[in-house]
Structure 1
Amino acid sequence: MAPVFDTARFLPDDLLARLRERAPVHDRENTFPNDDLDDLRAAGYLGILVPTAFGGAGLTLAQAAELQQRLAGAAPATALAINMHLVWTGVAKVLHDRGLDDLDSVLRGAAAGEVFAFGISEAGNDLVLFGSDTAATPDGDGGYRFTGTKIFTSLSPVWDHLGVHGLDTTSPDAPKMVFAFLDRSDDIVARDDWDTLGMRGTQSRTTELRGAHAPATRVVRRLDPGPQPDPLVFGIFAVFEILLASVYTGIARRALDLAVDAAKSRRSKKTGASYAADPDIRWRIADMALAYDALPPQIAALSADVDGQVDHGGRWFSLLAGLKHRAVTAAKAIVDEATLVGGGSSYFAHTELSRLYRDVLAGQFHPSDPESAHSAVAGAWLGPVDA
């Protein structure tokens, strides 16, 4: 039997307590949790997916997913923000594990405490990885200049490197999707426009690329637009979906714990008995637990398959999209039930359940959205739609 992974080694209780204490402040003030980032960097958290040969912790994706569930239970916005850094380090690990050194510079940077952000999302671009409205213009020396607008750029105030994609329509072999990393410059402008219902601490601001330059050494792929089996595309999709599912599963667990606490502490004026003895409350909590209990094993299984390089062939994308969709859907339902168990006090904005209620809503806006998840799963089971 494999040894039990000790999440407290990287996220000890005292660290989580500090993060949990700060979370409502950043939510209320709409600010980035700089102190959280400092604490996590000092704990080596930015390098958890970096192999030990590069100076990191050498954890598996399955172990990182478990840590992200624990972190999200304390500070959901911090966990979601750090997720985007972990996506790139996770992709670099996926490639490195398969003998590809394309993103080894990401591993070295993360081990040194550098922060990587995810600049892929664009308004209205439902092609996501397979297309882009951002122009990638060749510089003549193998590099590119990127012009366009990215949305939901988490870690906006603090990132050191921004992973982006754009469409090259001018090269002789165009069109090509270009993936590259940008450093901060005057050609990259982050709008101060992050004023949202929830996940406020992520500060996922809109980012304008105004001819931002990536030299040839920072260009990692030129691919044909559309779906394809390139390891970079697989790595991004796999790590992104698994770590997103982990964050929302962590929120679900925290809501369940708060509901249990509320049921045990509240007493009925009518009967004098604890709400934990009320059959309706017991049914609600049992229903929440039934939904939650299915999530961590699913995350662990798919994460282990990525780590172990299991070949699911064409089913990979439906499995990953399905995992993220189930986690987000279940988490939202669990938080809904938790607020009912918590009673009217959970409706007040200062309560943790109220914040979780708002934070969990963000899950439905991350790829894969419900429509694309269902399309991927239908395609896996039914095949393409007949012409």
Structure 2
Amino acid sequence: MSPEAALSDVLPDALLERIRGRAAGYDRDNAFFHEDLEELAAAGYLKIFVPASDGGLGLGLAAAAQLQRRLATAAPATALAINMHLVWTGVAQVLAARGDSSLDFVLREAGQGEIFAFGNSEAGNDSVLFDSRTAAVPQAGGGYSFTGRKIFTSLSPAWTRLGIFGKDASAGNGDGQLIHGFLSRDTPGYEVLADWDTLGMRASQSNTTVLDGAVVPAERIFRKLPVGPIADPLIFAIFACFETLLAAVYTGLGERALTLAVEAVTRRTSFKNGGRSYAQDPDIRWKVADAAMAMDALYPQLSTVTSDVDALADHGGQWFPKLVGLKVSATETARTVVDLAIRVSGGSSYFRGSELERLYRDVLAGMFHPSDDESAHNTVANAWLGPLEPG
């Protein structure tokens, strides 16, 4: 299936408009997007990366990114949460395309209707995937018990499989070993806190998950890695899917803000200029043009990076700069475009319930997703200049 066909077949206009119609209510009520999830699952949206042989659509990252961009124009919080399922299924697909079958079971189970979520983020862990504050303790039979606190666990009310990792301090010659596995919903030893009361992206219900001895059996442990940066295919696959799909969501958010800005300035009229449309005001036109040019630079960047992942392009040491650079470009561009949209739309956009008011709050979440601005710039600087020399 081509990306163009996927856009219309998997996410048709009628479904997109129903999702758009529910977004304000979810935000107002701080409620999870149950109806959106049900409809998206029925449409096969959660099986984007699942091969046709397992009942899926067999699409790649470029197509998935365009679908997520489209979904985010209707409901950014819904798209952001769906990302977490698509990250894991995308990681499995990216690995499989490179000859690594270790997560093929993820694709099979997603094809059977399981919903995956991303439970790796930890407060205060600026090492991200290269260390963990969660304890992973070996158990008889090869499993591990996990004790720690995971934050921003999107899809909290709905996931059936939670990807987690922790550190086995007893392994690795005293340096520790990072243990990756999937926790099933019916496993005892964890608690989902009802603590998601945030400024924006409220429908994602990205609650904190407290692990208290939750056991992942040996057959659900899929990677053991040394602490610290390592060139493992899993790390590349996670960064590739996480950063690009995040970028897709914020690209869609910015795209919607630009559309709303154009609608607003065309609709608004100037009293002092005899009722002429603000679309005829040179200053307003300049701001709209600025927003449009910013978005025009983002679309090809998203398309190129995701297409290169699908094509198994070899960018060597430049891969991570390209991925984090795309994420930062998308989140920062979206913030700029939303700000310009509000400036040209007038005071009505300041009122609670305005779509632009919601987008203004939603877009701020972009600065908190990894890689953050500081980490991304450090990654890019190291790639071009080498690491900092010891002082």
Q: Identify the TM-score tier after normalising by the shorter chain.
A: over 0.9
Displacement, 1:64?
A: 0.3
User: 1:182 corresponds to which letter in structure 2?
Assistant: L
Q: 1:302 to 1:207 in 2, by over 3 A?
A: same
- Residue by residue, what CA displacement relative to the aligned partner does 1:305-362 show, whole Å, maximum 9, x if unpaired? 1111111111111111111001100000100010111100000111000000000000
The CA distance in 2 between the partners of 1:19 and 1:203, in whole Å, is 16
Displacement, 1:16?
A: 0.7
Q: How many residues get paired?
A: 386
User: 2:70 corresponds to which letter in structure 1?
Assistant: R
Identical aligned residues as a percent: 59
User: 1:74 corresponds to which letter in structure 2?
Assistant: A
Matched, 1:128 2:133: no
User: 1:212 corresponds to which letter in structure 2?
Assistant: A
CA contact 1:133–1:148 (8 Å) conserved in 2: yes
Matched, 1:245 2:247: yes
Residue in structure 1 matched with residue 159 of structure 2 by the alignment = 159
Q: Secondary structure of 2:211's match? A: strand
Residue in structure 2 matched with residue 330 of structure 1 by the alignment = 333
Matched, 1:189 2:186: no
CA contact 1:143–1:219 (8 Å) conserved in 2: yes
Residue in structure 1 matched with residue 22 of structure 2 by the alignment = 22
The CA distance in 1 between the partners of 2:163 and 2:11, in whole Å, is 27
Query: Any residues of structure 2 matched to 1:268-307 within 5 Å, and which?
Result: 268-271=270-273, 272-307=275-310
CA contact 2:150–2:209 (8 Å) conserved in 1: yes
Displacement, 1:186?
A: 2.8
Q: Please list every run of 5 or more consecutive structure 1 residues that lacks an aligned counterpart in the other structure.
A: none
Q: Please list every run of 5 or more consecutive structure 2 residues that lacks an aligned counterpart in the other structure.
A: none
CA contact 1:50–1:93 (8 Å) conserved in 2: yes
Matched, 1:46 2:46: yes
Q: 1:223 to 1:333 in 2, by over 3 A?
A: same
User: 1:200 corresponds to which letter in structure 2?
Assistant: R
Displacement, 1:89?
A: 0.3
- Residue by residue, what CA displacement relative to the aligned partner does 1:210-243 show, whole Å, maximum 9, x if unpaired? 1111111100100011111111111001100000
Q: 1:228 to 1:171 in 2, by over 3 A?
A: closer
Matched, 1:33 2:33: yes
Residue in structure 2 matched with residue 312 of structure 1 by the alignment = 315
User: 2:17 corresponds to which letter in structure 1?
Assistant: A
Matched, 1:97 2:100: no
The CA distance in 2 between the partners of 1:154 and 1:381, in whole Å, is 34
The CA distance in 2 between the partners of 1:51 and 1:22, in whole Å, is 31
Displacement, 1:173?
A: 4.6
Displacement, 1:3?
A: 8.0
CA contact 1:252–1:335 (8 Å) conserved in 2: yes
- Residue by residue, what CA displacement relative to the aligned partner does 1:84-103 show, whole Å, maximum 9, x if unpaired? 00000000001111121111
The CA distance in 2 between the partners of 1:75 and 1:236, in whole Å, is 24
Displacement, 1:381?
A: 1.1
- Residue by residue, what CA displacement relative to the aligned partner does 1:37-92 show, whole Å, maximum 9, x if unpaired? 00000000000011112211011100000000000000110000000000000000
- Residue by residue, what CA displacement relative to the aligned partner does 1:252-299 show, whole Å, maximum 9, x if unpaired? 000000000001111111112111111011100100000001112111
Displacement, 1:140?
A: 2.5
Q: Give 2:212's match in structure 1, choosing from 210, 218, 221.
A: 210
Q: Secondary structure of 2:163's match? A: strand
Residue in structure 2 matched with residue 257 of structure 1 by the alignment = 259
User: 1:78 corresponds to which letter in structure 2?
Assistant: T
Q: Secondary structure of 2:270's match? A: coil
CA contact 1:152–1:204 (8 Å) conserved in 2: yes
The CA distance in 1 between the partners of 2:149 and 2:4, in whole Å, is 44
Residue in structure 1 matched with residue 346 of structure 2 by the alignment = 343
Which stretch of the first structure deviates more once superposed, 353-362 or 51-60?
51-60
Query: Any residues of structure 2 matched to 1:137-156 within 5 Å, and which?
Result: 137-156=137-156
The CA distance in 2 between the partners of 1:172 and 1:78, in whole Å, is 40
Q: 1:6 to 1:50 in 2, by over 3 A?
A: closer
Q: 1:91 to 1:331 in 2, by over 3 A?
A: same
Matched, 1:108 2:108: yes
CA contact 1:95–1:231 (8 Å) conserved in 2: yes
Runs of 4+ residues over 3 Å off in structure 1: 2-6, 171-174
Displacement, 1:201?
A: 0.2
Query: Any residues of structure 2 matched to 1:69-80 within 5 Å, and which?
Result: 69-80=69-80
CA contact 2:298–2:330 (8 Å) conserved in 1: yes
